[in-house]
Structure 1
Amino acid sequence: MKTKILIVLLFINLVSSCQNKTQPIMQNSEITEKNIVNKLASNIHHYDDEPMYQLLITNDWCSSEILVNDILAYKNFQEPLDGPTVDINNYIFKNGAQKVTIRLYPVGKYKNKDIDKFIAETGMSITVNEYNARTEKDKEIVKYSAPRKNDQRDSFEAIGKTYYEASFIFNATIPYKVEGFENARDLREWDAAILHKKLLQEYNKVKAIYQNKNYDNIARISYANLKNQVISKYQTREYINEVWEMLMEVYKLPTFEMQPIENYKMVFFADGKLVALMQDSKDSRVRGNSSLWAKFNRGEGIETLFCNRYFYIPKGETEFKIY
Structure 2
Amino acid sequence: MKKTKIIVLLIVVLINAMSCGQNKKGKNMNYIDYKEKLKNLTTSKDYLNNIPFYLLGYNFTKSFIHIEINGKLFVKDYKRSTKIQGYHFVNQFLNQKRKQKINVKIYPSKSDLFDEFSNFRINLSMLPSKKAWDNVNFTEQHYLIEYNTDDLTGEKDEDGFPLTENGKFKRKINIEGLPYFEKEFEFEAEMPFENEALQNSKDLREIDSTILEQKVLGQYHAFINSVKNKDENTYWEMYYNKVAYWAKANFFTEKDIDDLIKEGEMYYNMMSYQPIENYELVFYDEGRLVCFESKSNDLEFKGKSPLIATAVNPNDPKDVFRNPIQFYFYMPKDSNELQIMY
**TM-score, structure 2 normalization:** 0.72
SS in 2 for 1:272: coil
Aligned with 1:187 (options 204, 223, 231):
204
The CA deviation at 1:209 is: 1.9
The question of 1:316 aligning with 2:318 is answered no
Contact 1:63 1:80 in 2 (8 A): no
Paired residue for 1:293? 308
Aligned with 1:258 (options 250, 270, 273):
273
The CA deviation at 1:94 is: 2.5
SS in 2 for 1:55: strand
Paired residue for 2:104? 102
How has the CA–CA distance of structure 1 residues 173 and 34 changed in structure 2, closer, same or farther, with 3 Å as cutoff?
closer
Aligned with 2:171 (options 133, 148, 153):
153
Distance 2:57 2:256 in 1: 24
Paired residue for 2:143? 140
Aligned with 2:289 (options 257, 267, 274):
274
Paired residue for 2:126? 130
Paired residue for 2:240? 223
Distance 1:232 1:140 in 2: 21
Contact 1:311 1:321 in 2 (8 A): yes
Cα deviation per residue 1:244-278 (whole Å; 9 max; x = unaligned)? 1232133212xx32112111011101221010011
Distance 2:46 2:87 in 1: 24
Paired residue for 1:77? 78
Distance 1:30 1:93 in 2: 33
Distance 1:83 1:198 in 2: 32
Question: What value does the CA root-mean-square deviation take over the aligned residues?
Answer: 3.0
Report the residue type matching 2:80 in the other structure.
E
Q: How many residues align?
A: 283
Cα deviation per residue 1:24-80 (whole Å; 9 max; x = unaligned)? xxxxx8643542433333799824422111123242321212111222223433328
SS in 1 for 2:275: coil
Identity of aligned residues (%): 24
The CA deviation at 1:243 is: 2.4
Higher radius of gyration, 1 or 2: 2
Distance 2:49 2:41 in 1: 21
Normalized per residue, the structure richer in helix is 2
Aligned with 1:205 (options 215, 222, 226):
222
Distance 1:293 1:226 in 2: 17
The question of 1:175 aligning with 2:206 is answered no
Paired residue for 1:284? 299
The CA deviation at 1:229 is: 1.9
How has the CA–CA distance of structure 1 residues 56 and 30 changed in structure 2, closer, same or farther, with 3 Å as cutoff?
same
Structure 2: runs of 5+ lacking an equivalent: 1-29, 152-169
**TM-score, structure 1 normalization:** 0.76
Paired residue for 1:4? none
Distance 2:76 2:295 in 1: 14
Distance 1:140 1:230 in 2: 24
Distance 2:201 2:45 in 1: 24
